[in-house]
């Protein structure tokens, strides 16, 4: 029997990394050697040892196996409030201004369902994490893309948004340090975004999963909540996935505007039932007890990988587009402008998977994204395969 898809998902494209994962599985089943993945932004290294110890210790207790509360365990919310105070000098009320998420991706999608209607417009950057587009489609709203390119410093020109679009705009997505470009912007841009959204009554969804992955001696990128007035117009998505190498644990949070927190909780409490308590406790340890030296050493390793990839680019038919100061990514240009062709050729010819820029929108066409979440051994092998392949073309 064939069951038709609901109208709301009829035009929803499959998640690009799911499709790629299936293709790689097939190629691995038939091919000579396993494909090395430099596409997905998943850290290869483990979280701090104290975090795993805490998980095991709490999991061994008999009293932690029931449902948690829908707002999430206070121990996690209080730890996140302390982290925001220490890191950003931002005061958050752990009972009203913090909501744990099953990874920030879950919250991003549910925020659209909770706040936008058919006929509304969601403003999003022309290069963006795919969940902003997919959530808008699921909510039945319309998309208006704000170009972000090298020419405008990867930050939208808000004055270019037409007035009729602005009137219908309910939600804007921004994310810095940026995936996929690796671009970071100065604090006055954060202020500009808050000012603009307040002026036009737009909810600002600021996605901030990479504030601690910084290079060249830079420390912690800002939180949007540091901007005066942000609490009245913005929510920020934070995540332990990349900061503490906990992507598989699925824990993040939305912080900020208290009424939006309540609205998202209304949806979430009807959809999910939070986390296993041991995850909250271990995440609290990650947030409050990870030494800065652990973060610095991890970033040092990423920086070495970054430099190796950048050095290899001229030999693998790519040009560096932006020297990344942050994030897990390198954004490079394909000379003939065909990222899909480059991706297909390296995948099948070199057995290395890199991400086509088109995964992130039309302005990604002609670019390739590399992820640094790959072991040093795999990285050396992948670069040697890529060099050999492109030398033979
Ligand atoms: C910009 C951005 N936002 C959100 C996410 C989702 O992260 P999480 O693991 O917290 O769902 C990612 C993951 O790659 C990302 O790059």
pLDDT at 31: 85
Q: What is the pLDDT of residue 256?
A: 98
Q: How far is the CA of 209 from the centre of ligand 1 (A)?
A: 6
Best mutation site among 99, 135, 209 for ligand 1 pocket (most ligand atoms within 8 Å of CB)? 209
Cα-based distances in Å from 215 to 58, 176, 183: 34, 14, 12
pLDDT at residue 220, as a whole number: 86
pLDDT for the residue 373: 97
CB 167 within 8 A of CB 174: no
pLDDT value, residue 218: 86
Query: What is the dotted CATH code of the domain comprising 13-42+293-391?
Result: 3.90.1150.10
What is the C-alpha separation between 111 and 96, in angstroms, rounded?
16
Query: What topology does CATH give the domain 49-289?
Result: 3.40.640
Measure 147 CA to ligand 1 centroid, in angstroms: 21
**Confidence at residue 219, expressed as pLDDT on a 0 to 100 scale:** 83
Q: Which residues, 6+ apart, have CB-to-CB distance to 265 below 8 Å?
A: 70, 71, 99
User: How far apart, in Å, are the Cα atoms of 90 and each of 145, 185, 225, 237?
Assistant: 30, 19, 7, 14
Domains 13-42+293-391 and 49-289 share a fold: no
Residue bearing the CA closest to ligand 1, atom 6: 105
Per-residue pLDDT of the chain (393 residues; tens, 9 = 90+): 999 999 999 999 999 999 999 999 999 998 889 999 999 999 999 999 999 999 999 999 999 999 999 999 999 999 999 999 999 999 999 999 999 999 999 999 999 999 999 999 999 999 999 999 999 999 999 999 999 999 999 999 999 999 999 999 999 999 999 999 999 999 999 999 999 999 999 999 999 999 999 999 888 899 999 999 999 999 999 999 999 999 999 999 999 999 999 999 999 999 999 999 999 999 999 999 999 999 999 999 999 999 999 999 999 999 999 999 999 999 999 999 999 999 999 999 999 999 999 999 999 999 999 999 999 999 999 999 999 999 999
For the chain, the domains span 13-42+293-391, 49-289
Question: What is the pLDDT at residue 336?
Answer: 95
List residues near ligand 1 (CB under 6 A). 41, 103-105, 129, 175, 179, 207, 209, 239, 241, 247, 252
What pLDDT is attached to residue 246?
Answer: 98
- Distance from C-alpha of 122 to C-alpha of 128, rounded to nearest angstrom: 13
Q: How far is CA 92 from the centre of its chain?
A: 22
**pTM of the complete model beyond 0.85:** yes
> Rounded to the nearest whole angstrom, what is the distance from the C-alpha of residue 114 to the centroid of ligand 1?
19
Report whether 329 contacts 370 (CB < 8 A): yes
Residue with CA at minimum distance from ligand 1 atom 5: 105
In the prediction, which pLDDT does 104 show? 98
């Amino acid at each position: 029997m064939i069951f038709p898809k609901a109208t709301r998902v009829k035009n929803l494209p499959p998640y690009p990394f799911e499709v790629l994962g299936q293709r790689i599985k097939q190629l691995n089943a038939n091919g000579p050697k396993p494909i090395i993945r430099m596409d997905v932004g998943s850290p290869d290294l483990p979280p701090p040892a104290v975090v795993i110890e805490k998980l095991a210790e709490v999991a061994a207790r008999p009293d932690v196996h029931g449902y948690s509360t829908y707002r999430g365990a206070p121990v996690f919310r209080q730890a996140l409030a302390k982290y925001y105070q220490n890191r950003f000098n931002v005061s958050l009320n752990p009972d009203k201004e913090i909501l744990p998420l099953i990874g920030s991706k879950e919250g991003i999608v549910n925020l659209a369902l909770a706040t936008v209607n058919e006929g509304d417009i969601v403003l999003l950057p022309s290069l963006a994490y795919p969940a902003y587009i997919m959530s808008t489609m699921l909510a039945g709203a319309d998309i208006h893309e704000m170009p972000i390119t090298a020419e405008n410093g990867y930050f939208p020109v808000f004055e270019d948004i037409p007035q009729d679009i602005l009137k219908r705009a309910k939600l804007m997505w921004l994310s810095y340090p940026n995936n996929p470009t690796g671009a970071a912007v100065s604090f006055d841009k954060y202020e500009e975004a808050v000012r603009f959204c307040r002026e036009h009554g737009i909810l600002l969804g600021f996605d901030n999963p990479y504030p601690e992955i910084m290079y060249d001696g830079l420390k912690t990128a800002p939180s949007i909540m540091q901007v005066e007035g942000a609490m009245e117009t913005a929510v920020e998505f934070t995540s332990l996935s990349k900061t503490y190498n906990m992507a598989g644990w699925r824990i993040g949070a939305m912080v900020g505007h208290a009424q939006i927190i309540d609205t998202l909780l209304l949806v979430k409490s009807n959809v999910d039932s939070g986390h296993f308590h041991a995850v909250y406790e271990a995440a609290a340890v990650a947030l409050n007890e990870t030494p800065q030296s652990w973060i610095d050493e991890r970033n040092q390793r990423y920086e070495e990988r970054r430099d190796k990839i950048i050095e290899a680019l001229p030999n693998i038919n790519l040009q560096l587009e932006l020297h990344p100061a942050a994030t897990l990514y390198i954004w490079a240009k394909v000379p003939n402008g065909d990222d899909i062709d480059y991706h297909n050729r390296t995948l099948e010819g070199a057995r290395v998977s890199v991400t086509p820029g088109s995964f992130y929108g039309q302005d990604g066409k002609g670019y390739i994204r590399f992820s640094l979440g790959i072991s040093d051994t795999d990285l050396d092998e992948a670069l040697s395969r890529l060099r050999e392949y492109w030398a033979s073309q």
